[in-house]
Chains A and B, each alone.
Chain A
Amino acid sequence: MVTLLKFRPRQRAIPADADSPLAVRGLTVAYGQEPVLQSVDFVAPEADLVAVVGPNGAGKSTFIKAVLGLQPRLAGEVSCFGRPVERQRALIGYVPQRSSVDWDFPASALDVVTMGLYGKIGWCRPVRARHRAEAREFLAQVGMADFAARQIGQLSGGQQQRVFLARALAQDARLYLMDEPFAGVDAATERAIVDVLRTLKSRGRTVLCVHHDLQTAPDYFEHLLLLSGRVVAAGPMATHFTTAALAEAYGVGVSLIGPAAVRAG
């Protein structure tokens, strides 16, 4: 019990001259004998939206999980605002891929958002009315205020995604890691997510998003991390989202249509 109670998620004051929100050095991850990511180096800029892009099996989700420590790292260091990531968890908001929870669970949309506040509420203390009111505001920010009492399984896929986004907002993290938030969502949700991303950026937060859609990546994000088992390209979208880099990551078959092609050209 004593060691159990030692953990107390709490916001820490961050010195003004702190290091970058996320600095990854020499990160290597393997499933069994099979290496998935090899010596990845990456530094995320402050207050920026970063797209983590790459072909299937490139290790995008693995990267996010290894950064969080949910996937064991074979080698490498990950620091967040100048300290090991394990000690900065209160500063990190994680939005997992949708499939990972039980949609039959007896919880309403509001309950899920309230979970984002649990760290602030602390061990063994009950959830109070003011916490619920706070959670309701975050639901409103993603346009889901009317669905607060709905059981999560009874929401559409896009609505569920927005609820989880609201939970991440409720954490009030400094760094957000999102695993394919745009996967399989409707147009309204896509717009809501983009709005939230812009709001977060304007508040000085950094967001890393695993992103599948090469067409929209340059529209939604300013920074690029292109993975294919290793880092193929990393840097500002304008200079690094090139046909050559994409061809290297995806093989020769990739073709871009529309505005992205013009920019990538």
Chain B
Amino acid sequence: MDLGWLDVLLLRAGYNSAVVVLGAALLGGAAGTIGAFVLLRKRILISDAISHATLPGVALAFLLCLAWTGEGRRLEWLLVGAGVSGALGVLLVQGIKDHTRLPEDSAIATVLSLFFGLGVVLLSYIQALPVGGQAGMGSFLLGAAATLNRDEAELIGFAALAVVGLALLLAKEFGLLCFDAGYAASRGWPVKRLDLLLLALLLTVVCIGLKTVGLILVVALVTMPPVAARFWTHRLGWMVALSGAIGALAAWVGAAASSVLPRLPTGGVIVLAAASLLIVSLILGPARGLPARLRRRALPCPAPKIS
């Protein structure tokens, strides 16, 4: 077993599994990159609302696709459905936050439960249908890299690359938005549109992550890498790069492990890998990890300098 796992990890187990593992790694890298900005914008939990909000869209897309083509499991259809209903979820969160007295966390929890409930109801309807192909729907909940085929993995990989490219292109603007949105607005930067673009990139990552990590755990894929990276550095550029790297590494290892052991839920393994990296970062990270804490405790607080 060990040898097989190593082979997959090192991409020696055939083209198919190499594509799946690489696709997952790119996905992890994109999630880490975007997650870094979303975390700094202090909106990381909106990804939880997005991921749960995709479920009714996936289910409806399955039904539409079934009615249209006679076969429900086309990843493109399902991803478009996920994207549309995830976007509706984001807009509803934003609408509740802006137009009612309820704060963002209540808005997120509301959208999450309403859409997830709707998705589960639709899934129960689908499961009772006398057609095939429903079995794959379960993988949207908990993720299963093993069920990905080559085309699907390539689609995920290219989408992830596009997300990373856009994020890097706009890194300066996103950094300004996250650090000081008020200042950015006063200088005439389109803060609202930048926010929407950031959420759109997050939505893309969540949608392509559904099949690999599952909608319940996809929030971890965007949260854990930047949190871990934050322990190592005080520089935004390094943090984004490191966060992407940590996400990619965790997804690589997790996807490789679960494609050899199909009973292992991919999402769970990837998240545990990311969590281990996070714990290591917490213990060793020089910028904000335990070493920095101990240093600060050992030194007396520097008195304010008066010159």
A138 to chain B, nearest CB (A): 15
Q: How far is the CA of A115 from the CA of B233 in the complex (A)?
A: 19
Contact check, B190 vs A9: say whether CB atoms are below 8 A apart. no
Smallest Cβ-Cβ distance to A68: which chain B residue? B186
**How many Cβ-Cβ contacts under 8 Å join chain A to chain B?**
93
CB-CB < 8 A to B175: which residues of A? 107
Smallest Cβ-Cβ distance to A64: which chain B residue? B186
Interface residues of chain B, those whose CB is within 8 Å of chain A, are 40, 42, 169-173, 175-176, 178-180, 182-183, 185-190, 193, 197, 230, 233-236, 238-239, 304-307
Q: A94-B186, A118-B172 are in contact. List 10 more A-B contacts (CB 8 A).
A: A4-B193, A70-B186, A94-B187, A96-B183, A96-B186, A106-B233, A112-B179, A123-B173, A124-B172, A158-B304
A125 to chain B, nearest CB (A): 8
Chain A 108-125: CB-based contact to B (< 8 A → 1; otherwise 0): 100110010011010111
Given A106-B234, A106-B235, A107-B179: A89 touches B306 (CB 8 Å cut-off): no
A102 CB-CB contact with B under 8 Å:
yes
Chain B residues touching A, majority SS: helix
- 29 A-B residue pairs with Cβ-Cβ distance under 8 Å, sorted by A, are A7-B190, A68-B186, A70-B186, A86-B188, A89-B188, A90-B187, A94-B187, A96-B186, A102-B179, A105-B40, A105-B236, A106-B233, A106-B236, A106-B239, A107-B234, A107-B235, A108-B234, A111-B235, A112-B179, A115-B179, A115-B183, A118-B189, A121-B172, A124-B172, A124-B173, A125-B172, A126-B172, A186-B306, A187-B306
Q: How far is the CA of A112 from the CA of B179 in the complex (A)?
A: 9
CB-CB < 8 A to B234: which residues of A? 106-108, 151
B155 to chain A, nearest CB (A): 22
CB-CB < 8 A to B236: which residues of A? 105-107, 111
Contact check, B186 vs A127: say whether CB atoms are below 8 A apart. no
Tally of chain A residues near chain B (CB < 8 A):
38
Interface residues of chain A, those whose CB is within 8 Å of chain B, are 3-4, 7, 9, 68, 70, 86, 89-90, 92, 94, 96, 100-102, 105-108, 111-112, 115, 118-119, 121, 123-127, 151, 156-158, 171, 186-188
A-B CB proximity, top 9 nearest: A89-B188, A151-B234, A94-B186, A188-B307, A106-B236, A68-B186, A106-B239, A101-B180, A124-B169
CB-CB < 8 A to A106: which residues of B? 40, 230, 233-236, 238-239
Q: How far is the CA of A157 from the CA of B306 in the complex (A)?
A: 12
Q: How far is the CA of A158 from the CA of B170 in the complex (A)?
A: 31
Given A100-B182, A105-B178: A89 touches B235 (CB 8 Å cut-off): no
Smallest Cβ-Cβ distance to A154: which chain B residue? B234
Q: Which among A68, A70, A186 is the interface contact of B304 at CB below 8 angstroms?
A: A186
Contact check, A127 vs B197: say whether CB atoms are below 8 A apart. no
Contact check, B193 vs A119: say whether CB atoms are below 8 A apart. no
A33 to chain B, nearest CB (A): 16
Contact check, A89 vs B186: say whether CB atoms are below 8 A apart. yes
CB-CB < 8 A to B170: which residues of A? 124
Q: How far is the CA of A96 from the CA of B182 in the complex (A)?
A: 8
Contact check, B183 vs A94: say whether CB atoms are below 8 A apart. yes
B221 to chain A, nearest CB (A): 20
Q: How far is the CA of A171 from the CA of B170 in the complex (A)?
A: 20
Smallest Cβ-Cβ distance to A112: which chain B residue? B179
Contact check, B193 vs A90: say whether CB atoms are below 8 A apart. no
Q: How far is the CA of A187 from the CA of B171 in the complex (A)?
A: 37
Smallest Cβ-Cβ distance to B42: which chain A residue? A102
CB-CB < 8 A to B186: which residues of A? 68, 70, 89, 92, 94, 96
Q: How far is the CA of A260 from the CA of B178 in the complex (A)?
A: 42
Contact check, B305 vs A4: say whether CB atoms are below 8 A apart. no
Given A9-B187, A94-B186, A108-B234: A115 touches B176 (CB 8 Å cut-off): yes
CB-CB < 8 A to B183: which residues of A? 94, 96, 101, 115
B37 to chain A, nearest CB (A): 11
